[in-house]
């Protein structure tokens, strides 16, 4: 049970984060030429809006397919629409976590595990393998784009060092995880040995989890590689968002420019200090686009498109969470109708 001081601390941090977002947005709003920004949005038109939202929705759909392939490989007859609903709910939850890349996974595990009466550690194994596939595609894109950015642009020393260090650290983390997957290293349970007898119970559960991960990864390699391709595909759609938006404005972006936008925007989303990086992303995009000669009105218009897509997708996730019984997740209960659907034998 959560202690009162811990709960109070989280509320204070949440309040500070929200106030920081409001302050950042207010500052940006005071500096932006809104009539010029509105003109940019009108010039882009409804076609650009539809394309932007469609690319964002397509990203989540391909990620869902990548996860669904792993779920089906375990012999669970999970409908694609249910996996998509779970992914949307997880995406909405990640909006208020420290990173847009992590945070919604427990909700996905709870939803699928309870609805289809599956052992949650087995479902968690598919989520972990899916996140590893997503991480693999992200690392490849990040390294290519970071190298291109540093090669073609005379960025400041802080950006050069920061992007190099961040890419290097993430690559080392990925390499460690990859070697653990391929070499059957008991990475997590091995680290937990340091806790001694106090962590024996948790270590036993971790060893079991590692077994489920190995089963998902090694016994269903064809499904894993299919998931890898499907999960890596969304990165092309992420890069396509600025390409499509500025093409509608008659200002096509080159690959080095797209690489710069990708690296900077992903770093802003990876480490959120406000919910959904509100205010931080907008300010960061203004600075990023300024490096390639694009003004603040165009940058804010682009950010507005992103926030519109967020509203549609996050709103859908929240609505689905309400329908599926999010209060049950918070209390550790099953979602509505979990007793009537099965993806496998009772656990």
Across the range 57-82, mean pLDDT stands at 92
d(CA 251, CA 264): 20
**pLDDT tens digits, one per residue of 141-157:** 889 999 998 888 887 88
User: Residue 342's pLDDT is what?
Assistant: 47
Of the candidates 273, 222, 237, the residue with the CA atom closest to the CA atom of residue 97? 273
pLDDT of residue 245: 94
From 63-67, 212-216, 239-243, 284-288, the region with the lowest mean pLDDT: 212-216
Region 306-335: mean pLDDT is 74
Instruction: Spell out the residues 6+ positions from residue 178 whose beta carbon is closer than 8 angstroms to its own.
Output: 132, 136
Strand partners, 102: 99
Query: What is the band of 246 on the pLDDT scale with cuts at 50, 70, 90?
Result: very high
The span from the CA of 213 to the CA of 340, in Å, is 27
> Mean pLDDT, the chain, as a whole number?
82
By the 8 A CB rule, do 149 and 155 touch? yes
- Of 78, 75, 138, 133, give the one whose Cα is nearest residue 108: 78
Tell me, what's the pLDDT at 1?
45
Reported confidence tier of residue 163, pLDDT bands at 50, 70, 90: confident
DSSP letter assigned to residue 323: H
Other beta carbons less than 10 A from residue 67's beta carbon: 27
Contact yes or no for 55/248 (Cβ under 8 A)? no
82-86, 98-102, 138-142, 231-235 — which is least confidently predicted? 98-102
- At 235 the pLDDT is 84
Question: Which residue shows structure tokens 């990023």?
Answer: 288
The per-residue DSSP string of 236-293 comes to HHHHHHHHHHHHHTT-PPPHHHHHHHHHHHHHHHHS-SSGGGTTHHHHHHHHHHHTTT
The structure tokens listed for 57 are 């929705």
Per residue in 100-138, pLDDT tens?
667 788 889 988 998 898 988 889 889 988 988 888 888
Domain locations in the chain as residue ranges: 25-157+221-333
In order, the DSSP letters of 202-228 are HHHHHHHHHHHHHHHHHTTHHHHHHHH
Lowest mean pLDDT among 102-106, 149-153, 318-322, 340-344: 340-344
DSSP code, position 344: S
Q: Is the pLDDT of residue 335 over 70?
A: no
Integer Cα distance of 213 and 178 in angstroms:
13
Which pLDDT does position 297 carry in this prediction? 94
Average pLDDT over residues 154-169: 84
Region 203-212 average pLDDT? 69
Given a cut of 70, is residue 202 above it in pLDDT?
A: no
* More reliable by pLDDT, 22 or 9: 22
| 150 vs 159: CA distance, rounded Å | 9
- Are 208 and 121 in contact, with CB atoms under 8 Å apart? yes
Average pLDDT in the 16-25 region?
Answer: 86
- Beta-bridge partner residues of 151: none
Contacts of 95 (CB under 8 A, 6+ apart): 275, 276, 310, 314
Whether 347 has a pLDDT exceeding 50, the answer reads no
Query: Tokens 């007793």 — which residue?
Result: 339
**Which tens digits make up the pLDDT trace of 250-278?**
999 999 999 999 988 888 877 777 887 88
Higher pLDDT, 208 or 27: 27
Task: Pick 123 or 94 by higher pLDDT.
Answer: 123
User: Can you read off the two tokens belonging to residue 308?
Assistant: 């519109």
């Amino acid at each position: 049970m959560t202690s009162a001081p811990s709960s109070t601390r989280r509320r204070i941090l949440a309040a500070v984060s929200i106030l920081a977002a409001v302050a950042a947005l207010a500052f940006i709003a005071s500096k932006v030429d809104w009539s010029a920004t509105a003109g940019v949005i009108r010039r882009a038109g409804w076609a650009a809006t539809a394309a932007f939202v469609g690319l964002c929705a397509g990203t989540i759909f391909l990620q869902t397919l990548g996860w669904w392939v792993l779920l089906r490989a375990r012999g669970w007859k999970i409908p694609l629409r249910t996996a998509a609903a779970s992914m949307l709910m997880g995406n909405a939850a990640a909006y208020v976590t420290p990173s847009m890349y992590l945070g919604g996974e427990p909700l996905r595990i709870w939803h699928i595990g309870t609805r289809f009466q599956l052992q949650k550690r087995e479902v968690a194994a598919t989520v972990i393998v899916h996140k590893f596939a997503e991480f693999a595609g992200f690392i490849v894109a990040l390294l290519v784009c970071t190298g291109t950015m540093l090669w073609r642009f005379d960025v400041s020393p802080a950006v050069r060092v920061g992007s190099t260090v961040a890419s290097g650290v993430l690559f080392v983390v990925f390499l460690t995880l990859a070697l653990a997957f391929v070499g059957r290293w008991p990475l997590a349970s091995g680290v937990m040995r340091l806790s001694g007898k106090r962590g024996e119970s948790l270590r036993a559960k971790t060893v079991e989890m590692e077994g489920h991960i190995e089963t998902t990864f090694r016994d269903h390699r064809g499904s894993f590689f299919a998931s890898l391709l499907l999960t890596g595909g969304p990165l092309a759609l992420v890069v396509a968002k600025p390409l499509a938006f500025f093409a509608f404005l008659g200002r096509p972006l080159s690959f080095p420019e797209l690489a710069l936008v990708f690296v900077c925007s992903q770093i802003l989303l990876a480490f959120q200090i406000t919910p959904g990086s509100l205010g931080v992303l907008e300010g960061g995009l203004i600075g990023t686009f300024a490096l390639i000669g694009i003004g603040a009105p165009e940058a804010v218009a682009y950010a507005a498109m992103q926030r519109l897509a967020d509203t549609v997708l996050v709103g859908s996730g929240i609505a689905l969470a309400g329908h599926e019984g999010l209060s049950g997740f918070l209390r550790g209960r099953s979602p509505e109708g979990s007793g009537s659907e099965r993806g496998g034998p009772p656990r």
